[in-house]
């Protein structure tokens, strides 16, 4: 399934919704979008990925890129599918991002 994405910025929180498949072919456009988002220096990047059905290591490299560009950035992944959680855990990325159930980050953090 082709990748679709949508981004927005509210205050210091950037939102990036991804659906479909994130592979080596689609990753450059996502990286470009992340680069654009980081231009606004957000504190938080909320990635809504509940409809992301595939993520290759190219997706992991985008997370590294974002953190290298802006080390203080907090990255949230909202409702990743179990297969993607598995990839995050195997590669040690699970501890480098906040995996949350709700897009309402403040509420999720409080819960």
Partner 1 sequence: MDEQTFPGTLDSLEGVRDYVARAAGQAGFDRGKIYNLCLAVDEIVTNIVLHGYEEAGLSGDITLRADLDADEFVIRVEDHGKPYDPNAHRMPHPDDLSLPLEDRAIGGLGIMLAMDAVDDLQYDATAAGNVHRFIVKLPHANAATSPGRQS
Out of 10, 11, 68, 110, the only residue in the binding site for partner 1 (CB under 8 A) is 68
Q: Does 61 bind partner 1 (CB under 8 A)?
A: yes
CA 42 to chain centre: 13
Q: Does 93 bind partner 1 (CB under 8 A)?
A: yes
11 vs 90, beta carbon nearer partner 1: 90
Which of 4-31 are b and which e, b meaning 16 or more Cβ less than 10 Å from the residue's Cβ?
ebebeeeeebbbbbbbebbeeebbeebb
Site for partner 1 in 40-59 (CB under 8 A): 54, 56-58
> Least Å distance between CB 56 and partner 1?
5
76: enclosing H helix or E strand: strand 74-78
Q: Does 4 bind partner 1 (CB under 8 A)?
A: no
- Interacting residue ranges for partner 1, rule: CB under 8 A: 1-2, 21, 23-25, 54, 56-58, 60-61, 63-64, 67-68, 71, 75, 82-83, 86-87, 90-93, 95-97
């Amino acid at each position: 399934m082709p990748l679709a994405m949508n981004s927005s910025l509210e205050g210091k929180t950037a939102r990036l919704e991804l659906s479909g498949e994130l592979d080596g072919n689609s990753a450059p456009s996502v990286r470009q979008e992340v680069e654009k988002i980081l231009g606004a220096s957000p504190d938080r990047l909320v990635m809504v990925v509940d409809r992301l059905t595939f993520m290759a290591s190219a997706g992991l490299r985008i997370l590294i890129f974002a953190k290298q560009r802006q080390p203080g950035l907090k990255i949230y992944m909202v409702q990743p599918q179990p297969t993607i959680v598995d990839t995050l855990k195997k590669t040690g990325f699970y501890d480098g991002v906040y995996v949350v159930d709700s897009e309402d980050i403040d509420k999720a953090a409080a819960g």
